[in-house]
Amino acid sequence: MDNEVLLKIEGLRIEGRSGDEWSEIVKGVDLTLRKGEVLGLIGESGAGKSTVGLAAMGFARDGCRISGGTIEFDGIDLRVTPEATRRDLRGKRIAYVAQSAAASFNPAHKLIDQYCEAPVMHGVMPRDQAERDAIDLYRRMQLPDPEEIGFRYPHQVSGGQLQRAMTAMAMACRPDLIIFDEPTTALDVTTQIEVLAAIRDVVRQFDTAAIYITHDLAVVAQAADRIKVLLRGEEVETAETYKMLEAPKEDYTKSLWAVRSFTREEQPPGEGTPVVSVRNVTAAYGMVNVLEDVSFDIHAGRTVAVVGESGSGKSTTARVITGLLPPKSGEVLFDGEPLPPALKGRSREQLRQCQMIYQMADTALNPKLTLRQLIGRPAQMYLGLDGTALEDRVRELLDLIELDPAVYIDRLPGELSGGQKQRIGIARALAAEPKLIICDEVTSALDQIVQEGILKLLNKLQEDFGLAYMFITHDLATVRAIADEVVVMQQGRVIEKGTKSEMFAPPHEPYTDLLLSSVPEMDPDWLTCLLEKRAAAGG
């Protein structure tokens, strides 16, 4: 009975509308899922993973339409069956867990009311039984205070907890199939682990089949029996998780590993006067201290990675260094000289020395200026270039970031891809000829292949110009690839700092340990081992 096919999709085609034209976004995908099996669906943004996931429920978002193929769920063709049948299946036999639980719970109703809706309306069980059942599931999902938490409104519950409550809600009718659409992407690494473990346990306990959609191979490896890789609406390859990890067949699949394979050799600790030196900085928004006694140095030609989860104070530290947030106490030295605390007090020369690259290249580049204006402005302003000298410099910078000046110089940012935009951000920083560049999560909004390109470029530029980098990130894989030294932050304090080799070898502070161990690894047994280890350590 284990091999009985639950879902069979053949030749699925889906079109999306832009303006008055329809274009194909899913181009003939096949998919087979057996009862109790978990299939990982991975791919980069725009690969059509979510669209395929929703199609498994016979559903297409507004502006999309299913234009070809068959979707057969337990012998029912979802494309031809009446809407009433589809509606009866949804929530009852096929359930959905959305990426952002905070947005997908209705803000007007309590969690448990939303839980009970599907079982009661589909006539699976009466309300009081559904409530008891909800509390039981909340407990299994290891939600705190399972008796009470259901009687709260969504805004009163944290993101990680909401995501688990949503999984519980999906389980309400004990469906045969659950679609998980990036359920842990929006969460911090330490929270991600908890949610991932809870999801995996519940799915196994009830022998539910699942489609697990994500862009993170390491995450899906923990939960899926099989993995299917999608690229631009087409299948690249499908294999058992073990096989896929050991021996990916296609070049594209291999390239998904690439960022992890790029590693820069660790440089010896810098000597002499550091380029920038943060000394005992305490800073506050209003009355609340967001940084407490933060100190670290960055030397020329070195990369210091500042890591921590959201709210740890990484970006605030950057704001103090750039002068956007004058500290309450402590100071920032640049080449040994104290910097005026506020932006307004700094000279143009001081501003030039320290440049910044942002996480979202989309919002960091003025959409109404051409690349010539964007990159040329710092050179014109700080170095007094104009006319042909400016033109030559802009072309030179475009060459440096590996974009053809002849093609791109008069383009607007809107005409570039995400990775290209980020390169423009780098060129703009370089144009000032700075000593220090602060990179704020510069790769985290990008697909993995593109990330690798950016990291390689940054590395090359560092070697060529002896730049110092402050590299803010939450992604430890990136740290491993590019850092010389690491500063770990939590709740506004520096927990630990040292060279990369020190940081990735025990012993650590407990929080560093938690952070390091929470990063999913490309090993299907990693989560199981980790949980066992933690359970053993916890007694």
Partner 1 sequence: MILTRIAIGIGLLFIVSVVIFGATELLPGDLATQLLGQSATPETVAALREQLGLNDPAAMRYWNWLTGALSGDFGVSLANNRPISELISARLGNTLFLALYAAALAVPISLILGVLAALWRNTVFDRVANAGALSAISFPEFFVAYILILWLAQTGLFPSMVRINPTTTFVDRIYMSFLPALTLTLVVTAHMMRMTRAAIINLMASPYIEMARLKGMSPLRIVLRHALPNALAPIINVIALNLAYLITGVVVVEVVFVYPGLGQLMVDSVSNRDIAVVQAVALIFAAAYVALNLLADVLSTITNPRLMHRR
Partner 2 sequence: MSFFLWVVLGLAVLFAVAAGLRAVARTTLTGSARTLANDMPLTAAFGILVILIYAFVAIATPVLAPFPEREIVGTQFEAWSAEHPLGTDRIGRDMLSRLIYGARNTVGIAFATTALAFIVGSVLGIWAALTGGWVDQILSRFVDALMAIPALIFSLLLLTIFGTSITALILVIASVDATRVYRLARAVAQGIVVMDYVEAAQLRGERSWYLIRREILPNAMAPLVAEFGLRFCFVFLAISSLSFLGLGIKPPTADWGSMVRDNATLITFGDVTPLLPAGCIALLTVAVNFVVDWQLYRASGLKE
Binding site for partner 1 (CB under 8 A): 54, 57, 59, 61-62, 86-92, 95-96, 98, 100, 103-109, 117-118, 121-122, 152-153, 155-156
- β-sheet bridge partners, residue 304: 470, 485
Considering only residues 159 through 188, tell me which ones interact with partner 2, judged by CB under 8 A. Answer: none
- Residue type for position 49: K
Kindly tell me which of 170 and 470 has the beta carbon lying closer to partner 1: 170
The DSSP 8-state label assigned to residue 308 in this structure reads -
Among 172, 320, 432, 454, which residue interacts with partner 2 (rule: CB under 8 A)? 432
The answer to whether 358 contacts partner 2 (rule: CB under 8 A) is yes
CA distance 431 to 419: 18
The answer to whether 366 contacts partner 2 (rule: CB under 8 A) is yes
Binding site partner of 92, from partner 2, partner 1, none, Cβ cut-off 5-8 A by kind: partner 1
Pairing of strands 64-73, 5-18: antiparallel
Binding site partner of 95, from partner 1, partner 2, none, Cβ cut-off 5-8 A by kind: partner 1
Count CB atoms within 10 A of the CB of residue 463: 12
The answer to whether 343 contacts partner 2 (rule: CB under 8 A) is yes
Answer yes or no: are the C-beta atoms of 42 and 229 closer than 8 Å: yes
The string of DSSP codes covering 458-499 is HHHHHHHH--EEEEEES-HHHHHHH-SEEEEEETTEEEEEEE
**Shortest Cβ distance from residue 164 to partner 1 (Å)?**
16
The answer to whether 412 contacts partner 2 (rule: CB under 8 A) is no
Answer yes or no: are the C-beta atoms of 214 and 182 closer than 8 Å: yes
**Shortest Cβ distance from residue 401 to partner 2 (Å)?**
17
The answer to whether 324 contacts partner 2 (rule: CB under 8 A) is yes
**Shortest Cβ distance from residue 176 to partner 1 (Å)?**
14
Q: Which two tokens stand for residue 30?
A: 């096949």
Residue 96: partners with Cβ closer than 8 Å, 6 or more residues away: 53, 54, 57, 90, 170, 178, 179, 181
Kindly tell me which of 358 and 511 has the beta carbon lying closer to partner 2: 358
Which element (helix H / strand E) includes 325?
Answer: none
Q: Which two tokens stand for residue 126?
A: 């009466």
Among 368, 387, 510, 535, which residue interacts with partner 2 (rule: CB under 8 A)? 368
Count CB atoms within 10 A of the CB of residue 270: 18
Among 328, 377, 411, 456, which residue interacts with partner 2 (rule: CB under 8 A)? 377
**Shortest Cβ distance from residue 222 to partner 1 (Å)?**
25
The answer to whether 60 contacts partner 2 (rule: CB under 8 A) is no
**Shortest Cβ distance from residue 275 to partner 2 (Å)?**
17
Binding site partner of 381, from partner 1, partner 2, none, Cβ cut-off 5-8 A by kind: partner 2
Work out the angle between the directed axes of helices 371-383 and 387-400 (0-180°, nearest 10): 120
Interaction pattern, residues 7-26, with partner 2; x per rule: CB under 8 A: ------------x-------
**Shortest Cβ distance from residue 452 to partner 1 (Å)?**
32
Among 202, 210, 220, 356, which residue interacts with partner 2 (rule: CB under 8 A)? 356
The answer to whether 76 contacts partner 2 (rule: CB under 8 A) is no
Binding site partner of 88, from partner 1, partner 2, none, Cβ cut-off 5-8 A by kind: partner 1
CA-to-CA separations, 154 to 104, 109, 157, 163, 376, in angstroms, rounded: 9, 8, 6, 11, 48
The string of DSSP codes covering 225-271 is SEEEEEETTEEEEEEEHHHHHH---SHHHHHHTHHHH--PPPPPPP-
Give the number of residues in contact with partner 2, rule: CB under 8 A. 25
